[in-house]
Amino acid sequence: VTVVGDLHGQFGDLLHIFRSQGFPSATRPYVFNGDFVDRGPASVEVALTLFAFQLLLPNSVFLNRGACNHEERSVHSQCGFQAECNAKYG
């Protein structure tokens, strides 16, 4: 199991993890422990990639978030994710 934490919208870091550890698969499960978005320039890309892998491999890709994480509306509206979505998609 590969455990990943605090990507904070760093899509390059996510790709580096996949290159070094291998892409998620039925035999290579991943657990992502929150803070997927905010702060970095590619939060949308990180979130969509994680959601796509979770849809493709629901028994191998797990997305956790805490009670006060950056995925909460009250946090991401102040930390950049909402602004990034508005800038990219209106």
Active site residues: 70
Q: How many CA atoms lie within 13 A of 23 on its CB side?
A: 8
- Of 46, 41, 54, the C-alpha closest to 71 is 46
Separation of alpha carbons 90 and 79, rounded Å: 18
